[in-house]
Structure 1
């Protein structure tokens, strides 16, 4: 059956209007998913666990998210993106309730690891399946602007609303109340996917595939890593968001302990970071087309993030040593806004990674996207894993964690010189 919206090319500022409910679903869902991002690590410590244990919980979550990110693109192609989104939504809601009741509610570390880890499988299915929906339902010329809007609503959800709203709800209803409130946004986003995206499902690619063919399709994302260029790109994408996920883990512990920030203040700093990405995602997408993808990533992504990561740690520390009497605390809070803006500005310089993956493997774009999302998920795993390992060896030594992240960006800078990809004309 023909899709009645297949030839609907209407758009608003580059957003395909037929996908507008999908963008709304992503914004709502990721708002709920983002509630915990910048305060859960501290809350787990407040329950009586060590900083290393808290980081390790995030690492387990990140590993599960990496696996789900890898399979999400292929699963969405096999069973349709909408069905994959619905599965992700139901998994998230059920496992979140179990996490709150049996894990955090009982201060049971084993249950926290189990249900938080399993819940990590859910959001990539919902989030990344929508990328497949975009690719399946828009013309080639619309994919770039459509992806720009995708990352914009993602940032609005997980970062801006997901951080700003808890900065007000935590003082009113506490951390547990805020985590229960997150469920409201996830359910709303899931219901939008259930009832408003039916016209975009199309025919599932898996309808005509045998089980063996489906497994072969699923494994292609890994076999692509045999291509050295894809492997280089994957490493750079993993490094891309190390500081994002890393500071989400160590930031609330470090700033509330060393500078006596409130959790709400830290969340407001994190909101500033993500609010900056709303502009920088678009800016670096344009710059990448003008001066070249790799050049943008190398000089502004890798070097920019290396410097921003250091500034985020050292600028408040510096102010703490020179602060005039009476300005300690407030001054560090305002100083932290500067590196938050810098971090939000330069993390988006990696936006050209998406077209790099699909350009390197033009005949297997779906699998290339799966490698991209797998790499994004591995970043979610690697950042807390690095933090957890280092904090276990050097308790409360946040500086060594920051320096390690910085070294990773310098390594990615070096690897970028090995990356050879046909780029836009400058």
Structure 2
């Protein structure tokens, strides 16, 4: 176990500036999350076209999330983070100038889509650096800090700060301002993590062996039914999170009379709550039971929260505090999926790396599926119908939790804390 001098309450000192870099980088990446969809429609594009932009972005992010662990392992996490950082800055500048600037829909799809490869490569490569450098018994707490920094960045600062910058410098100016944050985070990572960790063990693999490493994370979906079902649950986990970022600005700002800063502050409340609930559910899951918690508090809870997110503001109109209620409830329930990180390696104990790769893939696919559903369904069932589709998917996931069979040492931890290796991975983001 690490000595007290090498970490602060589970935060590894050697990686301190890496955590700061993640928070700053994801702040810049999150600036656009809650208003870009409406900004695109304000340029004259349809809601379905706007949703398709995010769908392409989400597909690229899913690919990057799936491959980033293997890529970081092969070329070193620091080099992978540098690639992600540089790619983000260049593609964002091209998206702003040639995509939004020229109102060119094909170029918007192209450059924003390619930019979708960048942030997963940056943040998930840092996760690999955590796994490589932190003792096994400290990985769980180290990951807890990682997801806290992630939520602070993309959720709190990324959503709250634009509510002040948009009135001051406009939406376009806020999008440009994001580059400064991403560059700051990227440069901190480049200079402060240079001497952390060692040479990758897999750097000298042949090309064929590297391809084998990459493809193993796909074949496991066919050989393990429970992994496949867990993958579906993890996709559904954050489907409202990514979906609501696309459709709710159209509802709150476009129809109910909320200002864009008000909507961004409501969205920031949701992320602020998840900072604490991620840690809370990570502990409670050990006593309640992994799948039991995911079923009742995650799946059923998110189904209820999703409906509240639509019907409360629609019923009470332009009332900030009423609209903040479902944001708090959603922040509580979406974090109840925390034990899924422990479930994946427990389902495939002999291939934990491949299992975690599938977890990353499913997390990324959620970013793709959510706006894809909105893009296809909006012309037919409007915003209300999309919300009901998301709700139905959460109920479907609840059924899947009954089918999956996994050892759940829920009460064992009372007398034998953390004897099961799966506990080392129990903390997770949303």
What is the correspondence of 1:118-267 to structure 2 with a 5 Å cutoff?
118-226=114-222, 227-267=224-264
Equivalent position of 1:99 in the other structure: 95
Cα root mean square deviation, aligned: 1.3
Separation of aligned partners in 2, 1:120 and 1:105: 19
Separation of aligned partners in 1, 2:257 and 2:102: 27
What is the correspondence of 1:217-366 to structure 2 with a 5 Å cutoff?
217-226=213-222, 227-320=224-317, 329=318, 331=319, 333-366=320-353
Check conservation: 1:42, 1:252, Cα contact below 8 A.
Answer: yes
Answer with 198-207 or 93-102: which moved more. 198-207
Equivalent position of 1:387 in the other structure: 374
TM-score normalised to structure 1 length: 0.94
Gaps of 5+ in 2: 412-430
Check conservation: 2:73, 2:203, Cα contact below 8 A.
Answer: no
Separation of aligned partners in 2, 1:146 and 1:201: 15
Equivalent position of 2:417 in the other structure: none
- 1:74 Cα deviation from its structure 2 partner: 0.6
1:398 is aligned, of 383, 387, 394, to 383
1:55 is aligned, of 26, 43, 51, to 51
Separation of aligned partners in 1, 2:82 and 2:403: 40
- 1:186 Cα deviation from its structure 2 partner: 0.4
Equivalent position of 1:411 in the other structure: 396
Separation of aligned partners in 1, 2:4 and 2:128: 17
CA distances 1:77-118 after superposition (whole Å, capped 9, x unpaired) = 111111111110010000000000000111111110000000
Equivalent position of 1:324 in the other structure: none
Check conservation: 2:299, 2:397, Cα contact below 8 A.
Answer: yes
| Matched residue SS, 2:253 | helix
Equivalent position of 2:427 in the other structure: none
Check conservation: 2:132, 2:197, Cα contact below 8 A.
Answer: no
Separation of aligned partners in 1, 2:360 and 2:3: 28
Separation of aligned partners in 1, 2:354 and 2:183: 30
CA gap 1:199/1:405 in 2 versus in 1, 3 angstroms = same
- 1:23 Cα deviation from its structure 2 partner: 0.6
- 1:360 Cα deviation from its structure 2 partner: 1.8
Separation of aligned partners in 1, 2:235 and 2:275: 21
Check conservation: 1:80, 1:205, Cα contact below 8 A.
Answer: no
CA distances 1:378-418 after superposition (whole Å, capped 9, x unpaired) = 00000000001011334xx1100000000000000000111
Separation of aligned partners in 2, 1:100 and 1:240: 31
Detail structure 1 runs of 4+ shifted over 3 Å in the superposition. Answer: 6-9
- 1:366 Cα deviation from its structure 2 partner: 2.3
How many residue pairs end up in the alignment? Answer: 409
- 1:9 Cα deviation from its structure 2 partner: 7.2
Check conservation: 1:9, 1:138, Cα contact below 8 A.
Answer: no
- 1:8 Cα deviation from its structure 2 partner: 9.1
| Matched residue SS, 1:258 | coil
Separation of aligned partners in 1, 2:160 and 2:93: 22
Separation of aligned partners in 2, 1:105 and 1:85: 28
- 1:69 Cα deviation from its structure 2 partner: 0.6
Check conservation: 1:156, 1:274, Cα contact below 8 A.
Answer: yes
Check conservation: 1:59, 1:384, Cα contact below 8 A.
Answer: yes
Gaps of 5+ in 1: 1-5, 321-328
CA distances 1:243-293 after superposition (whole Å, capped 9, x unpaired) = 000110001111112211111110000000000001101110010112211
- 1:424 Cα deviation from its structure 2 partner: 2.4
CA distances 1:169-202 after superposition (whole Å, capped 9, x unpaired) = 0011111100110001100111011101112241
Separation of aligned partners in 2, 1:296 and 1:422: 14
